Amino acid sequence: MSIVELSDADFEGQVLHASQPVLVEFGAEWCHPCRQLEPIIDELADEWGEQVKVGRLDVDANVASTMRFGVMGVPTLILFVRGEPVERLSGFVPKKRIIERLGPHLGL
């Protein structure tokens, strides 16, 4: 499963109205911890397949969505289920911790 590049213009349709849970990585090109997190997010997208949509949002280019969800630092991961943010992780987080925190919301 590939990562969806998100923007303010398509955030509502791609995330808030999605039929499956959506994990969004709020990040930035200049952010070193974001780059460290990217391979983990890629692995999770592959492992979760069609069960979970995974997307990335550049906070510098998409200020409206960033502000709407109160993202104050990058990287921030937010899991949306039925259009609602149900879990949030900030900073670099190891894969095991991401799975521990998000798994219960995903039935994994």
Catalytic residues: 31, 34
Strand partners, 88: 78
d(CA 2, CA 45): 7
82: CB partners within 8 A, 6+ apart: none
Question: At 89, is the secondary structure helix, strand, or coil?
Answer: strand
Q: Please answer whether residues 15 and 64 qualify as being in contact, where contact means their C-beta atoms are separated by less than 8 angstroms.
A: no
As a whole number of angstroms, the distance between CA 21 and CA 44 comes to 13
Record the tokens describing residue 20, joined without a space.
């499956």
